[in-house]
Amino acid sequence: MDRDYCTMDDFDLDGKTVILRAEFNSPIGPDGKILDDKRIRESVPTIKGLEGSKVVLIAHQSRPGKKDFTTMEQHAKRLQRYVKQSVHYVDDIFGSHARAAIVEAEPGDIVMLENVRFYSEEVLELKPEAAAKTVMVKKLAPLAQVFLNDAFGASHRSQDSLVGFTPILPSGSGKLMQKEIDSLTEALRGGGEVVYVLGGAKVDDSISVTKNVLEKGIASRVLVTGVVANVFLAASGMNIGNPNYEFLEKNELTGEIPNAKEVLQKFDGKILMPSDVAINKDGKRVEINVRQLPADYPIMDIGHETIANFSDIIRHSDKVILNGPAGVFENPEFGTGTRDILMAATKAKFSVVGGGHSSAAVEEMGIEDKITHVSTGGGAAIDFLSGKPMPAIDALKAAKKRMMEHVGAKTH
């Protein structure tokens, strides 16, 4: 495949010092322990591909002010378990302690630097040229020969650890970043019967994706589930009932109803809403046709008629892209829609699943090997599919362009 960014295959990495920006941001429990280390596990192929290099790992965990904002010490221990190599955690980012650890390391060693968001400049959104002038980049870049970005989950950001090394060092993607870009690019390529299934509670994001894929003729149809479906049902003129309006109000989502109405009118017949829903009546699943709305109980899932219809469409599609659960799948009574739709996606020719909840459901069901690609980037995947700028990926593309121009200049 001819890519407009460099990958690991474009460099001779043996014996080199490689700065690797990884995505290790993980859910942390009340006890301060990592609950799910999927993102750490997903980075293993990239790190195993650098066994002949000195690897300097930069990653973040949460952000200042959040309860799960902590050090990278336990992330380093988890990584060590998976790569079966020594991972040297350093509680420093670019100070003399960190730099000494990098200099003293040998090819085959992994140095895990401290949570990069402990550094105040990291939370700023900067252009690559400005990020290249930050203290961290100026201190670390001279110690390395190559920069690799594997942090797809943060690629919609423009922070110095993501874009600052690209104007200075030969730069490319890690294996995970490459897989994410290739799979999501294929999802946006269209061709054949392409179906997007958008659920969960990120309504504004789902509306952005719907607009993008229908305006550009990428998707044949968009199926809506979850809270997204409730907003679209309300936009179509249905009274969804007080408990459901109250939920939208509480989560500041009522403002999305006019936006959904506009999209429904613009793309008439292209957006499919549920024909029946499951409500939570005193802890029990009760299914009703949407014509029976309003309900005095919260809508918690799509109903069996909708599940059958949507599953049939998904199974017979050439490509299916799913983001967000169909209901409150953590509750066994209301997980049917999410599980059945994901099972239907395993029958499609090409399938991508994005969003933390949907990805967790795929893992829980043990069907990862039957889905073409399970994205590690929730917000990043949505922004990519919405056609929004992806600063960290754009920085890699600009780095390849500079490299090609430099090679061209040398040959003339």
What residue numbers does the annotated binding site for substrate cover?
39, 60-63, 117, 157
Determine contact, residues 72/58, Cβ cutoff 8 Å.
no
CA 21 to chain centre: 15
Would you list which residues are annotated within the binding site? 39, 60-63, 117, 157, 330, 355-358
Rounded to whole angstroms, the Cα distance separating 140 from 137 reads 5
Which of 135, 77, 152, 159 shows the shortest CA–CA distance to 110?
Answer: 77
- Three-state SS for 196? strand
Rounded-to-integer distance, Cα 301 and Cα 225, Å:
8
d(Cα 161, Cα 111) in Å, to the nearest integer?
16
Which residues on adjacent β-strands are paired with residue 279?
A: 286, 299
- List residues bridging with 196 in a β-sheet: 222, 321
Q: Is residue 146 within 8 Å of 19, Cβ to Cβ?
A: yes
Taking a C-beta distance cutoff of 8 angstroms, is the pair 169, 11 a contact? no
Phi, psi of 280 (to 5 degrees): -95, 95
Q: What residues contact 139, with CB distance under 8 A and at least 6 apart?
A: 94, 99
Choose among 120, 117, 104, 110: nearest CA to 89.
110
- 3-state class (DSSP) for residue 229: helix
| Residue positions forming the annotated binding site for ATP | 330, 355-358
Quote the distance between the C-alpha of residue 10 and its chain's center.
25
**Any idea what DSSP says for residue 255?**
T
* SS3 state at 289: strand
